[in-house]
Amino acid sequence: MRTFCFRKSSRLLVILSAAAAIMQIGILTFVPDAALAHGERNQEPFLRMRTAHFYDVNWSTNEIPVNGEIVVTGKFRLFPIWPVNLPLPEAAFLGNGTPGPVLARTESYINGVPAIQSTKLELNRDYEFKTVLKGRVPGHHHVHPMINVMGAGPLLGPGNWLTVTGNESDFKLPIKTLSGETIDNLETWGLGRVFFWHGLWVAIAIVWLVWWLRRPLLLPRFRALTEKGGDRSQLVTSTDRLFGAGLLVATILIVFFGFQATDIAYPRTVPLQGSRATVEPLPEVPEQVKVVVNKSNYDVPGRSLRMNVTLTNNGSTSAQLGEFLTSNQRFINHEVSQAMAAVDPNYPKELLPPNGLKVSDSRPLKPGETKTVDIEAADAAWETERLSSLINDPDNTLGGLLFFYDEHGKRTISNVSGPMVPVFTDPDNRTAENPKGGPG
């Protein structure tokens, strides 16, 4: 009976395991988007709200063949209210967030300076970037610009889907060395030499091991060492010593002459390069509109961020609040035509919350005018992008950029930041249209 139960439960276990395996394969096969995106939503909200804000990001294409090029350009601002628990960007590197090296990066620049090395960046300053990537592995890949900051980790910009078509085996990344060699493909460069030398030494090692393994090994040798009558001289013979000595000489000779031959074959080599690049930020543009956050709430059941802000226009032209950018989510004020016009029709839709930005008074702010308005960014994106978990962060401060437009469409950018208080229930039924609450 016991045996029967065991067999029954074993069979059940096998069936369940097989079902789980089939489900896993199914998920990986039929839900590629979920599998190929790379965890940008898992980054804590304070990282995404108060470190690098990417804007004007453009992907030159949505589809390339293997060896085809995509150029990703844009700008980023390092937020001035940098999280205290992160080190300052003393060393930063312009990366690209892709699922591994499915694309090959051939060029990258920050403000026109080659970004092959890391560099120091300044807070509250803007930088322009450009990355040229070459299709390598066919598939549907999510491509982000990214800034890696030492101690803070990867700070991802917005991502867009790219389809790479063709055959991986057609990929080539050629380059000519300064000493005259032509490299057809960096993927396979030097591998013949690697395989030869690794193979040679493994073969020599196997000869040495087999020399000893061919004789009775463990128990006979152990007994011979520990029991009376064991002949230790047979364990290591003079032939063994002679063979070992010969191997020693051969090893040293191969290493010595191999090294000499390699030096002759490659007389001009350079060490790894580990310098730091110097990048000046873009010229500083004074903030036209000063933004003071009087109060900000995150309405948990309503999935809505509400801010009461006082805006002061210190410029000589009018300013109209057109966009709130935080964590790569662009909340556009649909009442401002310049803001709507600034959205590239090819921009990833998942980064443009459909409800946009509601402003209690969208009329242009005249030069010198100060006005207090309520802003509401309500969208399921707060949940789907896992930004609402800001309420669980020890540093519960929101951050983002506000984009203002004058009557000619000229844009200025202001930082917005302040403590955020969660609202778990909303008995007053407040909305952007009815900020005072009540029946409305």
Shortest CB 180 distance to another protein, Å: 9
Question: Is the CB of 92 or the CB of 378 nearer to another protein?
Answer: 92
Number of other residues whose CB lies within 10 A of the CB of residue 153: 14
* Pick 211 or 347: Cβ nearer another protein: 211
Give the Cα separation of 67 and 82 in Å (integer). Answer: 39
Q: Write down the least CB distance from residue 293 to another protein, Å.
A: 33
CB count in 10 Å sphere of residue 52: 24
Enter the tokens of residue 354. 């459909």
- Contact between 426 and 302 (Cβ < 8 Å): yes
Give the containing element (helix H, strand E) for 304.
Answer: strand 304-313
Indicate the residue among 262 and 294 with the shorter CB distance to another protein: 262
**Shortest Å, Cβ 118 to another protein:** 4
Q: How far is the CB of 355 from another protein (least distance, A)?
A: 32
Q: Which two tokens stand for residue 173?
A: 């990344």
Least distance to another protein from the beta carbon of 177, Å? 4
> What is the closest distance, in whole angstroms, from the C-beta atom of residue 71 to another protein in the complex?
14
| CB nearer another protein, residue 258 or residue 409 | 258
**Residue closer to another protein (CB basis): 251 or 346:** 251
Check: CB of residue 186 under 8 Å from CB of residue 171. no
The DSSP line for 210-247 is HHHHTS--SHHHHHHHHSTT--GGGTS-HHHHHHHHHH
45: which residues sit within 8 A by CB, 6+ positions away? 327, 386, 387, 388, 389, 390, 393
Nearer to another protein, 35 or 217 (CB): 217
In angstroms, the CA 158 to CA 48 distance is 11
Contact 415, 399 (CB under 8 A): yes
Tokens linked to 10: 């074993």
Beta carbon of residue 278, minimum distance to another protein (angstroms, whole number): 13
SS3 85: coil
CB of 237 to another protein, least distance (A): 11
Helix pair 191-213, 238-265: axis angle to 10 deg = 180
**What DSSP element (H or E) covers 201?**
helix 191-213
By C-beta, is 147 or 289 nearer to another protein?
147
Answer for the pair 311, 291: CB distance below 8 angstroms, yes or no: yes
75/142 with CB nearer another protein: 142
- Nearest approach in angstroms of CB 409 to another protein is 34
CB of 53 or CB of 134, closer to another protein: 134
